[in-house]
Amino acid sequence: MSTNEFMIRMENVNKWYGDFHVLKDVNLNVKKGEKVVICGPSGSGKSTTIRCLNHLEKFQQGKIFIGETELIEDVKIVRHIRSKVGMVFQHFNLFPHLSVLENLVIAPTWVHKKPRKEAIETAMYYLDRVKISDQANKYPNQLSGGQQQRVAVARCLCFNPEIMLFDEPTSALDPEMVSEVLDVMVELADEGITMICVTHEMGFAKKVADRVIFMDGGQIIEENEPHTFFEQPESDRLKLFLDQILSH
């Protein structure tokens, strides 16, 4: 298989916080259009892994390729990669001083140099897609958590990224709002965008993922297609983890 088929390649990525070894030889290849779910106990390095992909975290050893571009510490390359990678955060991180619409317009106009009018049209299109176009002129703090997270997804879609990273997108939501965000993510997955999602929503993983990855202690322990992953886990640690999250 040619390496060019991969949208994301991580080769032996290692990262330390001081003396603490957070990522241990992480190897991860993701094909164009593939949906990958990463799960694992807290502190297992799953968020750190996807945060390395858009250089929110630096890594000390190994290589990362996004498409053809190697991710190195160079302002231009980092910005180029970030313009292709959208990220949705656990705490939404909308800009509270800007209206919903302005939140969506800011990256297309300033980073991608689109005319403002065009950016507004795109923004309204994606707000409509996530079903909150009627809230366009409100401020983020006037919206519910679920609505805010949908705005955050739309904010990424506005610059037409090739890859979407989700960092526990539903963990900070009230239970009744989880499904409205997952619905948007499922819809997005159906359209064929490359997706890496750190989540504990196992239902979502079963429904959408091409591959589920289990991380623990900074390394990938087991990966498989979802059916086998959940029905026939091999490693003891994954068995224990699945027991713990599915036992109630």
Partner 1 sequence: MAIYDIKEAKPAPINNRGIIFWLRKNLFSDIKNSLLSVFCIYFLYLTVPPALDWLFFSATWSGSQEDIVNDGARWIFIIEKFDQFIYGFYPEALHWRPLFVAALTVAFIASVKLLKNIKLKIIIILLYPFVSIVFIHGGLFGLETVETNKWGGLMLTVIVAAVGIIASFPIGILLALGRQSDMPIVKTLCVGFIEFVRGVPLITILFMASVVLPLFFHDGIDFDKLLRALIGITLFQAAYIAEVVRGGLQAIPKGQYEASESLGLSYWQGMILIILPQALKISIPNLVGSFISLFKDTTLVLIIGLFDILAMVTLTNSDSNWLGYEVEGYVFVTFIYWVFCFSMSQYSKSVERRFNTELK
Q: Which residues bind partner 1 (CB under 8 A)?
A: 54, 56, 75, 79, 82-83, 85-87, 89, 91, 93-98, 106-107, 110-112, 139, 141-142, 155-156, 159
For 196, the enclosing helix (H) or strand (E) is: strand 194-198
- Our CB check for partner 1 shows the closer of 98 and 124 to be 98
Q: How far is CA 216 from CA 39, 48, 103, 201, in A?
A: 9, 12, 35, 17
Strand partners, 14: 61
- Our CB check for partner 1 shows the closer of 83 and 219 to be 83
- Our CB check for partner 1 shows the closer of 93 and 224 to be 93
- CB of residue 83 to partner 1, shortest distance in Å: 4
- CB of residue 112 to partner 1, shortest distance in Å: 8
- Our CB check for partner 1 shows the closer of 76 and 248 to be 76
- In the chain, the amino acid numbered 92 is F
Classify residue 120 by its DSSP letter: H
- CB of residue 163 to partner 1, shortest distance in Å: 12
- CB of residue 101 to partner 1, shortest distance in Å: 13
- Our CB check for partner 1 shows the closer of 46 and 211 to be 46
- Our CB check for partner 1 shows the closer of 107 and 196 to be 107
Distance CA 37, CA 57 (A): 20
- In the chain, the amino acid numbered 44 is S
Classify residue 134 by its DSSP letter: G
50 phi/psi in degrees, rounded to 5: -75, -25
- Our CB check for partner 1 shows the closer of 27 and 60 to be 60
- CB of residue 150 to partner 1, shortest distance in Å: 15
- CB of residue 127 to partner 1, shortest distance in Å: 16
Strand partners, 11: 63
Please tell me the number of Cα atoms within 13 Å of 5 on its side-chain side: 5
Residue pair 85/124 in contact (Cβ under 8 Å)? The answer is: no
Q: How far is CA 67 from CA 4, 70, 97, 167, in A?
A: 7, 8, 34, 21
What does the block give as tokens for 230?
A: 């959940």
What does the block give as tokens for 98?
A: 């800007």
What does the block give as tokens for 148?
A: 């805010």
- CB of residue 231 to partner 1, shortest distance in Å: 35
